[in-house]
Amino acid sequence: MSRAGLPLLANEFARVVVQLAPGASETVRIAAALVADATAAGHVCVDLAAVAGRAAFDGAAAVPPLAAVLEALRATPLVAAPGEFAPLVLDGTRLYLHRYWHYETALATSLAARAAHAPDEVDETALARTLARLFPDEGAGANLQKVAAAVACMRRLVVISGGPGTGKTSTVARVLAALVTLAGDARLAIGLAAPTGKAAARLEASLAHHADTASLGLHAVTLHRLLGLAAGSTPRFDAQNPLPLDVVVVDEASMMDLAAAAKLVAALPAHARLILLGDKDQLASVEAGAVLASIASGASGFSPPMRRALERVTGAALPAAVDGGAPRNAPLSDAIVLLDRSYRFDAARGVGRLARAVRAGDVDAALATLDEGVEARIALPDAEALGGAAFAGYRSYFDTVRATADPAACFAALAQFRVLAAVRGGPLGVEALNAMVERRLAAEQAAVLHRRWYPGRPVMVTRNDYALRLSNGDVGIVLPVPGASGGVSVCFEAPDGSTRRLSPARMPDCETVYAMTVHKSQGSEFDEVLLVLPDEPSQVLSRELLYTGVTRARTRVTVHARRETVAAAIGERVVRDSGLAERLWGP
């Protein structure tokens, strides 16, 4: 902590800013520190109405009353009104760093415009025929995947949100197949992207193995690579030099931060379709903003004209909007489809039931599901027993590594189980859990573990290396080199199913990954998950973190935590201060 109890970085930012206007008041300095600290914590702005009159930071003096804060900020040249330029922008009671105010307003304006303008007139007869071929009749009720595909063909913007197993990737594969069919002889330029390299690789692999898109030869990249955005540089593609694409698909959009979203939308040509896929209930991005959740926050159903059009092309009856009439911001609401049927989980038991209870904030139902112990259970053994459980979960993997050096078999075995933790440090963090597993492995294979690069060691890349085509989050396995006595290489799975091998000497920064954080696990799936929550109170514990961790499991999840910790996590929502939802949907 530093002056007046302010965090060091926030205090330093405030010090630099107020030097631009000698004589700036202490209130202005505190406000500048507040917005800097809020942005570092993932917020887009600070709502002064929420902090006025109370201590801004531990040990700091109280923030003056709201009227006094607003008066001081309006009187200094360091703060601009919306549309003007200064280091800080005051918009109502929200205070922004200028660039984040610009990102937010530009994104809201662009999304609203894209939602309001439909593509060139769609041949409904051809669309209905194409959808009927791609989505065979499943019986009674509307097939929301089919509805989502129809929306994507009829709009320049579509947001498809749903939990794991609701078929988002399957839906987008059919969307792309439909668009290619409807385009006829015109060749569509399609771009696939995701916030992380791991998520991009998963999207590419899924579409490469889907019958409807396997022949398209699509390649997925990170959003930064799509935009030509290197660290510290301006994007190669922007409003003046738009992306040469007709369709852009962004998977795992819940991880997309405000800056990336604004730059992406700015770089889209006017005619292009933007398709956002993700789970609005998952953890938000590490950087500032909660873009997907904000976009989907006001959706209340289709407007009457859109509902009738969708009924014509899908052949299914759709419910009216929640209020029975036109929803707020009908063009945007018409662009959002929330998939609610899981093809992976039984909603009445196990992982599916637990996920539904956590998402709904129902503590009693979540604990009751865990107590039943059917595919989802709670356990609180001591540290020794926890280490044993983690090691036992990898028994099949260790056996596979000893039996064969086949990378495909080893990757399949590794995907059967994963330890997830809420935090990196501490006795129940990722570092301690990895050490627990390795200590037990050393007791069985002491000779092997005399070296760092032992066969079977799973590693996660922690720094992008474009020259090696490796991204932060990629997971590899150390395996023997065929025909080389004692030699090892680090194997990585390519999206087409092939294996890439790298010498350990060429590896970028990486770490052992028997355990990983819930944040790092986003976009991944494992047959069984051991989810470890800290005993002590932690700012990272939230409903979104618990939901994300639970839903990484396909068939079984064990939550290592105290009951009160689970209850506290469910009761804590991640709220990112932002004006995006209000700009899109109104107050």
Instruction: Kindly report the number of other CB atoms within 10 A of residue 428's CB atom.
Output: 22
Q: Distance between CA atoms of 476 and 68, rounded to whole angstroms?
A: 56
Q: What backbone phi and psi angles, to 5 degrees, belong to 324?
A: 85, -10
Q: Distance between CA atoms of 494 and 488, rounded to whole angstroms?
A: 19
Query: Could you report the per-residue pLDDT of 275-314, keeping only the tens digit for each?
Result: 999 988 888 777 887 899 999 988 888 888 888 889 899 8
| Global pTM value | 0.88
Going edge to edge, which strands form the sheet with 88-91?
46-47, 94-97, 88-91, 79-80
The four Cα atoms 331, 334, 337, 340 give a dihedral, to 10 degrees, of 120
- pLDDT category at 1 given cuts 50, 70, 90 is very low
Query: Could you report the per-residue pLDDT of 489-504, keeping only the tens digit for each?
Result: 999 987 777 888 999 8
Distance of CA 418 to the CA centre of its chain: 19
Q: Is the pLDDT of residue 249 over 50?
A: yes
Q: Are 150 and 118 spatial neighbours (Cβ–Cβ below 8 Å)? A: no
Q: Is the pLDDT of residue 199 over 80?
A: yes
> Across the chain, what does the average pLDDT equal?
86
Q: Distance between CA atoms of 473 and 492, rounded to whole angstroms?
A: 12
Angle, helices 304-314/124-134, rounded to nearest 10 degrees: 60
Please calculate the CA angle 241-246-248 and round it to the nearest 5 degrees.
90
pLDDT at 2: 45
CB-based burial label for 340 (10 Å; 0-12, 13-18, 19+): exposed
Q: Are 456 and 404 spatial neighbours (Cβ–Cβ below 8 Å)? A: no
Q: Are 376 and 351 spatial neighbours (Cβ–Cβ below 8 Å)? A: yes
- pLDDT category at 7 given cuts 50, 70, 90 is low
Distance of CA 512 to the CA centre of its chain: 23
Which of 111-120, 357-366, 492-501 is the most confident on average?
357-366
pLDDT at 490: 92
